[in-house]
């Protein structure tokens, strides 16, 4: 009797075990890149490292798809995120595809360079390969208010670009030299990752300009027009499964919606304004 049961079980097909469906892990990367705040959460390696690892640890994984929606931010964090994704993809021999949603600009585009192929919607904004520094000058305002600004430093350049003092030519020169160095770093990464796929004139490509999806394809900044689910089904079949990698919150953090570090309200307001300014550059 037991032998007959075993024979019957042996003849029952188990397709879900014999041919499990291919899986694509979706790693959402949305927001400003940097330290962030309670009101303007941001992307950085410390916050993303666990999710990146989990994305590459999915059962029967065939690819990782980056869903990018970012106007940019910190070039350092952008490159750290990009390199971490690239390193683990190489280690596990898993292809990576990037998909620009509303915008993948500046640091957002830099992160997309982690992918073997980059796609966007026709109306996506892509590019902005450049460096920007913006701020305000309050020196005339405090003069009108009758406020004295008292600053004491050890080091001639410690108070460079102080917003409460008039601009100095030497400060602007130092800033522009720094920006040029960071811009060269950004350009090198783009050339390294896109290589012969770049078709545009470099002076235009690296001018800080940005383009909609179709023009970005012509310039070689991206590989095609398409949405994440559509492209992945074309590559891995209609039955491909998708697993979205979500942020895991601790119990207390999840219940209260706060982090251990809480900046002052003025810092929060400035961070939120800076965040909105970045998005607003692209009409978003």
* Catalytic residue list: 106, 158
Are 159 and 151 in contact by the 8 Å Cβ rule? The answer is yes
What are the helix (H) ranges across the chain?
A: 2-10, 15-18, 45-55, 75-92, 107-112, 139-145, 169-194, 202-205, 213-219, 228-236, 251-256, 265-280
What tokens appear for 55 in the block?
Answer: 């994305």
Q: What is the CA radius of gyration of the chain?
A: 24
C-alpha–C-alpha distance, residues 38 and 19, integer Å: 45
SS3 95: coil
What are the helix (H) ranges across 56-168?
A: 75-92, 107-112, 139-145
Are 73 and 32 in contact by the 8 Å Cβ rule? The answer is yes
């Amino acid at each position: 009797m037991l032998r007959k049961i075993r024979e019957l079980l042996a003849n029952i097909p188990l397709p879900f075990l014999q041919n499990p469906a291919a899986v694509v892990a979706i790693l959402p990367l949305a927001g400003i890149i940097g330290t962030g705040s309670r009101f303007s959460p941001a992307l950085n390696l410390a916050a993303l490292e666990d999710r990146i690892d989990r994305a590459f640890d999915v059962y029967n994984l065939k690819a990782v798809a980056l869903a990018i929606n970012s106007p940019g931010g910190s070039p350092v964090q952008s490159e750290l995120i990009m390199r971490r994704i690239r390193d683990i993809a190489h280690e596990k021999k898993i292809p990576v595809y990037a998909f620009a949603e509303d915008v993948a600009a500046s640091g957002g585009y830099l992160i997309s360079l982690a992918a073997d192929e980059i796609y966007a919607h026709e109306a996506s904004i892509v590019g902005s390969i450049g460096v920007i520094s913006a701020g305000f000058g309050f020196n005339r305002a405090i003069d009108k208010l009758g406020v004295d600004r008292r600053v004491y430093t050890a080091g001639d350049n410690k108070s460079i670009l102080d917003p409460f003092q008039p601009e100095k030519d030497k400060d602007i020169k130092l800033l522009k030299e720094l920006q040029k160095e960071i811009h060269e770093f950004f350009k090198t990464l783009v050339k390294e990752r896109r290589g012969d796929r770049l078709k545009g004139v470099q002076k235009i490509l690296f001018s800080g300009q940005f383009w909609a999806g179709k023009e970005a394809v012509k310039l070689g900044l991206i590989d095609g027009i398409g949405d994440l689910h559509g492209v992945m089904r074309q590559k891995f079949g209609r039955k491909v499964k998708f697993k979205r990698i979500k942020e895991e919150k601790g119990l207390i953090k999840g219940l209260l919606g706060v982090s251990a570090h809480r900046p002052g309200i003025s810092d929060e307001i400035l961070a939120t304004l800076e965040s909105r300014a970045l998005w607003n550059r692209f009409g978003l």
